[in-house]
Structure 1
């Protein structure tokens, strides 16, 4: 979109997205102490659907036009809500450390940069490649300094790679085939797809343990509203209005921001090596997202 047609509020979207997405990992850690991973995810999606369904009836937003638009929305839900989050939760369940999972997920902007010219018709110049390299180096420094990288669990590693491929595919698919429709409509379709996948998996793979405690309810409320309703909507909107390689570069700042939230909420210290990693990640983001100056005619 041209600057004239881009909503003004979208300028604040990257900062708000990072705030909600990064803090979500800390909140998720609290919630998983009281529930099995896929069971917790299925309950989260069920709550989102229960919120959106009455809104759909009251607001009556436009429905997708034709089977193709329905299919595109469902595919994004399958890749992001079902694929990415299921693989993330299962990776943790099968022995992958949070640091190892975050390191693999931080490779997403590199994959986007490689694949965007083919699937999203975007060109990634040298300046942005330098930024992507600095970003992934900074994210890796933060993760290595903060947590041990345990990749000795083959199944956990497999699910972590699956999560990386799902969010990369979902980002590129949304950029190329994204449907311009009301957020209530698109979110309801995508989370219904996610619930339809996660609930049977939870029933099949887990005893479906869940303890209805205050911390679990608080974590569930935050993830439902902050992550599922607001952060995902911001992410998909930014992808539609911008370049996929620029938007995906925001994920370089997720490990540093998560480390800061973990310090504030859980009291987890930030090692000295993590601070230069944060600076590198921020510099990489600056190079990737900076718009080149227009040449005078």
Structure 2
């Protein structure tokens, strides 16, 4: 019996490790797919045609919620999740795609967005009634230094993006933080797929409206555009987002947040290989500082479950993006 338990444990560890690697690759692919799509069409076109198919694919889950709530003539939490969808998807993705279109490196954009867990832990904690430790403040400071170094290296080496363009990903990161506050204050959780259906439907409406208003709703006929969309749908959305939730259930939200800090280095190397984006020694130092910041702040821990304080602060089904 003891040998069998050991085999199961080792098997689970290998499977979890493989899923973690796949998660980092899939989430990183979103930044690469954004640059691929931006090469053939405006940001609004790419985002409209990314979310319209998603909304249609997830429509059955939304209809199930409507039928379930028919007796009450309303969907509980609908307004809240529409707002979460606007902040965590519409605002976030619009700023990511816009920054990359302006010439900000994919790795730089990924790093700026990747410090969201540190910002949330250090700045949003008091709003959620969670104590902020000195290590978290130190980790935030160290992580921001790393971000500044990477931005400096990217701006000096590439020189394609205007200086203000590097503020755009920060807006998206703040959108994620705001969505965390809204989601955590919800009186009751919503099943993840139903919440995702509302988020994607909201984004489909937002981006379709923006595309029509700017005259960019018609997609290009190029095969590379549709290849980029397929890339984003399969790898970034279903792969990245799906594996996020699966890993949260297997190992807890804190270790998964630790994995988020590996996304920027992977994206930087990937962008350098595919798009000849600069990867200088200063970039490497900045990325290393961001990873150390996660360790200092305690965002990366061993174990299969979050620590007790985290479990208390994050009820099951309400772990969105922090």
Shift in Å, 1:42: 0.8
**Residue 3 of structure 1 corresponds to which residue in structure 2?**
none
Aligned CA distance change for structure 1 residues 79 and 56 (closer, same or farther; 3 Å) = closer
Q: Which residue is 2:90 aligned to?
A: 82
Query: What displacement does 1:271 show?
Result: 1.4
Q: Cα–Cα, structure 1 residues 124 and 292, in superposed 2: closer, same or farther, change >3 Å?
A: farther
**Corresponding residue for 2:299?**
289
Q: Deviations over 1:99-158 (max 9, x none)?
A: 7755754553453134322332222212222222222323333343244474545xx567
Q: Does 1:198 align with 2:207?
A: yes
Please give the secondary structure, in 2, of the residue aligned with 1:198: helix
Q: Give the Å deviation of 1:48.
A: 0.8
| SS state at 1:285 partner | helix
- Matched with 2:145 is 137
Distance change >3 Å, CA 114–CA 272, structure 1 → 2 = closer
* TM-score (ref. length: structure 1): 0.75
Which residue in 2 is equivalent to 1:108? 116
Structure 1 partner of 2:219: 210
1:108-187 paired onto structure 2 within 5 Å: 108-148=116-156, 150-153=161-164, 156=165, 159-177=168-186, 180-187=189-196
Match of 2:49 in 1: 43
Distance change (3 Å), C-alpha of 1:170 and 1:234: farther
Would you say how many aligned residue pairs link Structure 1 and Structure 2?
283
* CA distance in 2: counterparts of 1:134 and 1:214, whole angstroms: 43
Partner of residue 222 from structure 1, selected from 203, 220, 231:
231
Q: 1:69 and 2:69 equivalent?
A: no
How far apart are the structure 2 equivalents of 1:284 and 1:39? 36
> Equivalent residue of 2:272, what SS?
helix
Unaligned 5+ runs, structure 2? 1-11, 308-322
Question: CA–CA distance in 2 between the matches of 1:101 and 1:50?
Answer: 29
- Look up the SS of the partner of 1:97 in the other structure: coil
* Aligned Cα root-mean-square deviation (Å): 3.9
Q: Mind listing any 5+ residue stretches in structure 1 that lack a counterpart?
A: 1-6
> TM-score if structure 2 supplies the norm length?
0.70
